[in-house]
Amino acid sequence: MRHDRQGRRESKESRALRIGRRCLPLVAGLALFTTAGASEGAGSRPFDLFMPPGECRLTLFPDGSANLHYGVAPWVVRVAPQTFDFTQQLHRFEQLARQPIDATDAPDVSLVLPDTSVETRLQDATYVRQLMEQAWQAGLPPGNEFEQPYPDLIRQACRFD
């Protein structure tokens, strides 16, 4: 038995009911949010490619634009819309994610698909590197003075020469 705020004894069951009643609006809101998001479909949300995992990151967006990042650093190089065929790339990487990988050949590439936070290892490092190079070439100029050093930092960190 636990005691409530007024010092009265409270059983586990009554405490669980009290907490459940408080959480009900939150759970209902989350269910509504999740259902609304699921109706959009995975093709309407971005996905991430990492090379090597946790370092250089390419986020592809449905409008064909992208962002190049490095790890969790706040640096970003924005890439123009229509640079990539998002649907084609999404389908390609969904197929690659289903293919088994050789455990002895540690890949330098990973993927996080829409609707998941699971990082999946991939075998096609050459193709992912080509996409990152393409994004680098299509990078937009910095949007403001604070972003001025970002392209150089990303170039060095991701080894774009």
- Per-residue pLDDT reduced to its tens digit, 75-115: 899 999 999 999 999 999 999 888 887 766 666 888 998 88
Please check whether residues 18 and 47 belong to one and the same domain. Answer: no
Please check whether residues 88 and 74 belong to one and the same domain. Answer: yes
Please check whether residues 130 and 106 belong to one and the same domain. Answer: yes
Please check whether residues 36 and 95 belong to one and the same domain. Answer: no
pTM over 0.85: no
Beta bridge partners of 67: 59, 78
**Which residue pairs from 123-129 have beta carbons closer than 8 angstroms and sit at least 24 positions apart in sequence?**
123/96, 123/99, 124/96, 125/51, 128/49, 128/51, 128/58, 129/51
Please check whether residues 6 and 52 belong to one and the same domain. Answer: no
Please check whether residues 141 and 79 belong to one and the same domain. Answer: yes
Please check whether residues 87 and 122 belong to one and the same domain. Answer: yes
Q: Which residues contact 119 (CB under 8 A, 6 or more apart)?
A: 50, 53, 110, 111, 112
Please check whether residues 59 and 120 belong to one and the same domain. Answer: yes
What is the pLDDT at residue 88?
95
Please check whether residues 131 and 54 belong to one and the same domain. Answer: yes
What is the pLDDT at residue 22?
60
Please check whether residues 64 and 140 belong to one and the same domain. Answer: yes
What is the pLDDT at residue 139?
93
What is the pLDDT at residue 149?
86
What domain count does the chain have?
A: 2
Residue with tokens 């994610």: 97
Going residue by residue through the chain, which has 161 residues, state the pLDDT in tens, using 9 for 90 and above.
Answer: 565 566 666 665 565 556 655 644 443 343 333 333 333 445 679 999 999 888 899 999 999 999 999 988 888 999 999 999 999 999 999 998 888 877 666 668 889 988 888 888 888 889 999 999 999 999 999 888 888 888 998 999 899 98
Question: What domain range includes position 109?
Answer: 43-158
For residues 79 and 67, the answer to whether their CB atoms sit within 8 Å is yes
What is the pLDDT at residue 90?
94
Please check whether residues 54 and 113 belong to one and the same domain. Answer: yes
Token readout for 52 is: 């090597």
